[in-house]
Structure 1
Amino acid sequence: MSTAHSPGAARPEPHPSQVRRWRRYLAEERTEAEIYRRLAERSSGREQDILRQVAEGEQRHAEHWVRLLGPQADRPARPSLYSRLLLLLAGHLGTVFVLAMLQRAEGRSPYHDEEDASDAMAADEAVHEEIVRALATEGRHKLSGNFRAAVFGANDGLVSNLALVMGVGATGTSAAMVLFTGLAGLLAGALSMGAGEFVSVRSQRELLDASQPTQVTLHAAPNLDLDANELVQIYRARGMSEEAAEHRAAERLGFHDCDCDPSLSFRDPAAEQEPGPEHVALGTDLGAAASSFAFFASGALVPILPYLVGLSGAAAVVVSLVLVGVALLVTGGLVGLLSGASPWKRGLRQLGIGFGAALATYALGLLFNTGVA
């Protein structure tokens, strides 16, 4: 892939298009290095060290383009708008949001098809994408429970109340009745969503807690009948082979003071953990309920805003559709951003689903048009 030159050979004069490309690469690499450095400043411990190492890798890539450009490296191109946006966000937002965006950027590296980039650089970019994916995944796990409830709540509020308002409005009823119906839908839906999330998350946590292994092997082992060692059966039930279970039981009974034969042992992480895990990815029941209630209510408020300010008829419907459309694009794009997917695709998907539901209820309302002014 890379273009090689012998140490003593004169480098051919690069084509202007090459120079422009190299300048662009240089600007991007310098900006990405700075993004990772800013993220490192907002992090700590292991994550901070990893981000600094990645920043150094991007700086090495920048030095490659400096060597190729020579004196012309003093005039690098401006980085892309996307990179400048990431640089701005890196100093103000949590790392999970910026890392999710960086994951997409690293996945679009042009070095695999760039003859002037070395094989090592292309490999580095692939590794960087995987590093960023792993770091972003940790952040996603931490906010996935309550974030899921918030996003689903907002989308449900937007779609369900828009559909309700459109359906009722199409029957020809008064604007005041449409408004009161929308407010009732907001309150009923928010309470239902909040209660549902509380029960759902609490039930999931209780099920996981009930499935978590206890520390019975620590306090029961000294009193077990060695001729009928039930301890082995515990480890077999947890998924170990019989040989590995016997080895682990011998450790617990004091016959081994270490995991002397790791090849026998499928290490049982659950056996080493304290009971009562936090199940971070689920979130908390109260947090999920509060997020779902608040975001459903805020989402459900959007379709009735035109009616709250006194609009009615076709004007209210159009304004409501525009407001909800923008909100659906934002929430869908945010989900796409955090999942490392295309924000536009996710936003347009949400828009299509929301407007499809509204169109269906509007058509149903027209069938039952009362003709009431």
Structure 2
Amino acid sequence: MAERIPSKTEIKRWRQYLADERAEASVYRDLAKRRDGEEKAILLALAEAEGRHEQHWLNLLGEHAGSPARASINNQILGLLARRFGSVFVLALAQRSESRSPYASDVDATAAMAADESIHEEVVRGLATRGRIRLSGTFRAAVFGANDGLVSNLSLVAGMAATGVSSQVVLFSGIAGLLAGALSMGAGEFVSVRSQRELLDASLPTQVTLTAAKSLDLENNELVLVYLARGMSREAAEHRAAERMGTFTCDCDPSLSLQPESFESADEHETLGTAWGAASSSFCFFASGAIIPIIPFLFGMTGIGSLILSCVLVGLSLMGTGAMVGLLSGASPLWRGLRQLAIGMGAAAATYLLGLAFGGVIGG
């Protein structure tokens, strides 16, 4: 059977595949350098799989492999980020890259390679999920606080400007909105965290079972009710109660015998620190967003030009935060950015129209 002679188009496509496989393997190796244990082993296994795909294209190219081609722009950026950061955002980008593999529709790629890429997406999704879970609380607070500051203060500035008041009044209104909103966010987070901590503390079991057990009535063992209320099965509750009351010492079924309750006392300074940390973070996140709409006014700009520049600055910021959310969630950064932009500008437009209406009423 005659050896297949690839066309120039095929050679170009295969060389691009080869470059991208090498780039993806390098990304996984770079990410593995920043991990240890199971995550490191998984990333190295992914790099090994990309190496097998690389060999497939080398075999097809043969003498046409030539000098290494440049990887796609996406893979070049991904490689740069992996070498510099190695964060969950890189894993989220890698997840999107794996989901866009062309192998499923390319006749020159094997079915096993296409299946590998599908599985790789799920593997990377799993690794990224670990980071998303670790990051979700802080990231949620950051995005929520910054966006709240951006949208609420732009809306306030736009509404005030529409009434026809002076730029100085708009500036002071924006500063007041920044401080009021940031203080409100900080106070709300402080109360929320402290209240949650107090609820959790009130739910912790006490050591009363250790001191009261020896005096309980064996015929009406209230201790069983304690363990039933804590979620144990009746068999496990009766077993634990018998242990506590000292009626036997032999554990015929060790799975029913739980360790004695030992609950660490809550550190008041740690509790306060957590609440104060949440409050200060929310204050800073909100303030960092709320200051952007008033930047033109801080530098002395006046008139409609200052409001337009304020909208542009806020729009870019909203696009940026939306894109970050998109990257972290594995969705389209552009779509998420545009969604954030539409929501923010919609709120500002609504308050601007209200400001025009109020200004007209007052002026009339």
Name the TM-score, length of structure 1 as normaliser.
0.81
Displacement of 1:237 in angstroms is: 5.7
**CA distances 1:79-116 after superposition (whole Å, capped 9, x unpaired):** 11111111111122242111111111112222222222
Moved more, 354-363 or 93-102: 93-102
CA gap of 1:271–1:47, structure 2 versus 1, over 3 A, is: farther
Find the counterpart in structure 2 of residue 339 from structure 1: 329
Give the drift of 1:230: 7.6
2:156 aligns with 164
Distance in 1 between residues matched to 2:279 and 2:136, nearest whole Å: 14
How far apart, CA to CA, are the structure 2 residues paired with 1:250 and 1:49?
Answer: 47
Give 1:141-156 correspondences, 5 Å limit.
141-156=133-148
The unaligned stretches of length 5 or more in structure 1 are 1-8, 260-264, 278-282
- 1:302 paired with 2:292, answer yes
Q: Which amino acid aligns with 2:80?
A: L
The percentage of counterpart residues that share the same residue type is: 61
Q: Answer yes or no: is 1:363 the counterpart of 2:353.
A: yes
2:124 to 126, 132, 136: 132
2:91 to 99, 102, 107: 99
Q: CA RMSD in A?
A: 3.5
Instruction: Render the CA deviation track for 1:28-47: whole Å, top value 9, x for unaligned.
Output: 11101111111111122222
**Deviations 1:106-142 (Å, cap 9, x if unpaired)?**
1222222222222222222222222211221221222
Q: 1:121 to 1:193 in 2, by over 3 A?
A: same
1:156-199: per-residue Cα shift (whole Å, max 9, x none)? 01000000000000000000000000001001111111111222
Which has the larger Rg? 2
Instruction: Measure how far apart 1:287 and its partner are.
Output: 3.2
1:357 and 1:322 map into 2 onto residues whose CA distance is 15
> Would the alpha carbon gap of residues 117 and 238 (structure 1) be closer, same or farther in structure 2, given more than 3 Å must change?
farther
Per the alignment, do residues 138 and 320 of structure 1 end up closer, same or farther by CA in structure 2, a change over 3 Å counting?
same
Give the alignment partner of residue 255 of structure 1, picking from 251, 259, 273. Answer: 251
The corresponding residue for 2:30 is 38
The answer on whether the counterparts of 1:168 and 1:178 sit within 8 Å (CA) in structure 2 is yes
- Which residue of structure 2 lines up, in the alignment, with residue 289 of structure 1? 279
Relative to structure 1, is the Cα distance of residues 187 and 111 closer, same or farther in structure 2, using a 3 angstrom cutoff? Answer: same
Q: Deviations over 1:334-354 (max 9, x none)?
A: 111111111111111110000
Distance in 2 separating the partners of 1:102 and 1:246: 52
Please point out which of 327, 339, 346 is paired with 1:349.
Answer: 339
Aligned to 1:25: 17
1:319 aligns with 2:315: no
Structure 2: how far apart are the matches of 1:209 and 1:115? 62
Per the normalisation by structure 2, the TM-score is 0.83
**Which residue of structure 2 aligns with residue 85 of structure 1?**
77
Q: How does 1:47-126 map to 2 (within 5 A)?
A: 47-126=39-118
Report how many aligned residue pairs link the two structures: 351
Q: Which runs of 5+ in 2 are unaligned?
A: 267-272
CA displacement 1:243-301 (0-9 Å, x = unmatched): 78889999997534755xxxxx9xx9x99997799xxxxx9433332222112111111
Distance in 2 separating the partners of 1:79 and 1:247: 65
Higher mean alpha-carbon deviation, 351-360 vs 95-104, is at 95-104
Cα distance in 1 for partners of 2:149, 2:274 equals 21
Match of 1:197 in 2: 189
